[in-house]
């Protein structure tokens, strides 16, 4: 693991500690590095829809969070500009769901990320693609920024 990958993990952990949604949903940051991240949560009863399966918005939110950690991994503040998801299989209460985001392209201020959302048995629950846009600022201040 490179120093840049270790810093990317530090950035993701910092972001998770600063947000209300991740801790409320029980998001676990499992792994990551420059341009990628892997996170998970266990489906709770209050995440279910009227069919008794995970609400699609929860799968979208997990994938979007994985995207956030991947696209901010270089410490350049980035946001989602566009995203789409295809739902493929339901998840049930008590099931661990994992989202793995991978950078597919980075050009200028725009990045393209694919996120695979899987169930604990490895089946594909959803596939998500997001477009990121770098904005001003950093997630974690660097030494040079602190000196100014």
Tens-digit pLDDT profile for residues 38-61? 999 999 999 999 999 999 999 999
How many folded domains does the chain comprise?
1
List the beta strands (DSSP E) in 2-146: 28-33, 36-42, 78-87, 96-107, 110-119, 124-134
User: Which CATH number characterizes residue 64's domain?
Assistant: 3.10.129.10
C-alpha R_g of the chain: 15
pLDDT attached to residue 142 = 77
pLDDT greater than 80 at residue 147:
no
Q: Are 63 and 99 in contact (CB under 8 A)?
A: yes
pLDDT classification of 144: cutoffs 50, 70, 90: low
- pTM, rounded to two decimals: 0.94
Residue closest to 132 by CA, chosen among 65, 68, 46:
68
Closest CA to 111 of 73, 56, 59, 57: 73
Range of the domain at 59: 3-147
């Amino acid at each position: 693991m490179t120093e840049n990958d270790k810093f990317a993990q530090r950035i993701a952990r910092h972001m998770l500690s600063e947000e209300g949604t991740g801790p409320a949903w029980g998001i676990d940051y499992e792994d990551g590095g420059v341009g990628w991240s892997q996170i998970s949560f266990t489906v709770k009863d209050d995440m279910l829809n009227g069919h008794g399966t995970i609400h699609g918005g929860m799968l979208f939110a997990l994938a979007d969070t994985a995207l956030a950690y991947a696209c901010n991994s270089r410490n350049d503040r980035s946001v989602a500009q566009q995203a789409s998801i295809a739902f493929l299989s339901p998840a049930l209460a008590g099931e661990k769901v994992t989202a793995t985001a991978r950078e597919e392209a980075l050009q200028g201020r725009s990045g393209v990320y694919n996120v695979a959302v899987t169930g604990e048995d490895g089946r594909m629950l959803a596939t998500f693609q997001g477009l990121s846009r770098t904005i001003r600022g950093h997630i974690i201040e660097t030494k040079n920024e602190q000196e100014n």
